[in-house]
Structure 1
């Protein structure tokens, strides 16, 4: 659960022990556990991920593409850095940042985030993670193209009034300025050791990821009725920092997602480094018995 509490970076002097929700389980121990496997994941070639495939199969299982060939994506060069992100979106852009230990949010300017990111690990007092920098309507937008098949099925592109989307001028996600669901292109920036707790995106929307540099680790839980009930109880308990949800469900899956691999999934996760993602708003039939 990601709570709504948010502070400014310069006010972030409260110790972790003073904040309810600090994680008490050992994440490294979970990574080494043999309890999880990767049987749920489907490996595909990009050329096979077509609109016809999606219409026939739905988006029921996580899919990994080991190469970009055939997907129609466009990405910055692998040496594209956080400093480059700052140049393309502006040093004053305010960024939502998560405190990894408490899963609570603060705000930094992009300039502050770049300085934090480039601080040697031994000198960082806390672990911070950026998972929601939406960069449509910035210069960075022109360096990233999502998979062609994703363009074909996104409700924002296919159903939302086009004149409203074209009216959008503000590059931030300020609700008062938003003319359409601005959720199509995100840049995630994580230092080593970052963790994002289990969550469901936007009522179960599907997500695509491309890791530009580094590695991400995902835990996935099939959305069976039993698992969804366990998830609901876990969220409502207020004890997410004490209970690792992957240990409570009947089955969960762990897999490592390396630089230059692509993923389409319905999701929950953990992260080191720099990646691009988007949340196409789509709905396809789930596997029988699954409801989101």
Structure 2
């Protein structure tokens, strides 16, 4: 028999029951629950409880309540990422799971004079840079004047459909931009309604929509640092060269032109993304593909980033989650303590360096412009993230479409048309490659040697092509007198290094250097410059 029923029976027998200290007060019940609607007192009419001899105040023991979980405020992190319960917990930061401390970043307030060189130096030093209400013209950024109200006019339905991710389920649909905007407006209460999907458009890269992309200019230092931008410029320059002088009549020119066209068609574009997100959209923990740098400008709405620095501990924890297909929230929630918060409002611009871990929440409908780029000064970091992504692909915990497309072919192309082009000119002028120029060369050499035999896209590079490029790279890095007409012999004589040997001079160099290096990122000292 329930405690409540026992209490009523005691009253029926003329034995009123009052609450004791042990039993606790009758909290949670209103006086009207046991009285006539016309009465606000605790007196009970005889007709209310048949069989009672008199009406008098009384109290019931509280009904048994299921004990509250000691983790009730943090249980939301165990929900399906993107579900209503998860998004509600995330938006309210229930249980204080997430830090409200601002991220350690270099922040320029509205009206501050922003030095372009300072931004570049801070980014390359691994610091996040945030510019509040940025003066776009001051850093060379040019964008269309667009908001959620007019973006559907800028991008028409005829521009095509794009993959849109449902934050609640992780599944994808295909929508045009106008359809996406229409859906957003029709479903303002998407978090509260289980039947409404929270859509997040992350894959819309508009470079091929030239009527829009032709009006966009990236910040100048992004143009200068981006390996892909430099590669495209080198291809266009080479096309121009082939139209002049002896090149115009050379039998080899048509073949080279064809190769350049093929290369140009296979260069991926990650420079001009428009991200359209519904209120409540959530992007889970990730490092951007290939460890690329990220720039991010908020046109409309708001974004909340949670970021963690690329320490060895954080990167290894991230790697373990990625290769096993596990979730930080359920399998390693201790990681959450490493994240700090960045809020971005309309007009704010953020630059996120390579390898920073982050996840993103959208508190209201938003429109963002952004892009990704590689830089040669951080090759080691880019290569490290590619190794993780390739490991995930092998373990089937990752997908090829989530990786930097044609990454290694782009590295060989950059080596051929950008790096070696400049390095050969320097060596012809009797200038040795030192400092960062030398370290970049060694990073190319010791990494790309392992990619010689990997398949290439559409026959861009044969194994012989790759070997020839790396042999030339070794030649320009050598301290020997540079003479293109003389045969070159490697100064790294093939010899036994552990159990590894090689008769190929490039492979021998790679094996020797890797055996000598304390870490993969170590480079030769340049404190004492060499002179020829």
Same fold (TM over 0.5): yes
Q: Compared with structure 1, are the counterparts of its residues 118 and 244 closer, same or farther at alpha carbon in structure 2 (3 Å cutoff)? A: farther
Match of 2:186 in 1: 119
The C-alpha deviation readout for 1:227-265, integer Å capped at 9, x for no partner, is 112112223444438538674256221121111011001
SS, match of residue 122 in structure 1 = coil
Which of 99, 121, 128 lines up with 1:62 in the alignment?
128
Relative to 1, partners in 2 of residues 1:136 and 1:83: Cα closer, same or farther, differing over 3 Å?
farther
Q: CA 1:227 to 1:114, structure 2 compared with 1: closer, same or farther past 3 Å? A: same
Aligned pair 1:27/2:100, yes or no?
Answer: no
Q: Counterparts of 2:311 and 2:223 in 1: how far apart (Å)?
A: 28
In structure 1, the residue matched to 2:274 is: 187
| Higher relative contact order (CA closer than 8 Å, sequence separation 6+) | 1
2:285 counterpart of 1:198: yes
Q: TM-score, normalised by structure 2?
A: 0.43
**Mapped pair 1:233 → 2:320:** yes
Match of 1:106 among 173, 176, 179: 173
Whether 1:210 and 2:276 are equivalent positions in the alignment is: no
Shift of 1:84: 3.6
The structure with more strand, counted as a fraction of residues:
1
Deviation at 1:53, TM superposition (A): 5.9
Counterpart selection for 1:274 from 367, 371, 374: 367
Distance 1:157 1:35, change over 3 A: closer
Aligned: 1:91 with 2:184: no
Change over 3 Å in CA distance of 1:285–1:36 after alignment to 2: farther
Which one of the candidate residues 212, 216, 235 is aligned to 1:162?
235
Change (3 A) 1:185 1:35: same
For this pair of structures, how many residues does the alignment match?
Answer: 259
Q: Secondary structure at the match of 2:295?
A: strand
Q: Deviations over 1:118-173 (max 9, x none)?
A: 21413771100111210113122234322111111111121245349x9xxxxxxx
Indicate whether 1:133 and 2:201 are aligned. no
Q: Which has the higher helix share?
A: 2
Max Rg structure:
2
Distance 1:240 1:208 in 2: 26
| Aligned mates of 2:295, 2:155 — CA distance in 1 | 22
CA distance in 2, matches of 1:72, 1:32: 43
Alpha-carbon shift at residue 202 of structure 1 (Å) = 1.9
- Does the C-alpha gap of structure 1 residues 234 and 153 become closer, same or farther in structure 2, counting only changes over 3 Å? same
User: 1:94 offset after TM fit, Å?
Assistant: 1.2
| Partner of residue 143, structure 2 | 75
TM-score by length of 1: 0.75
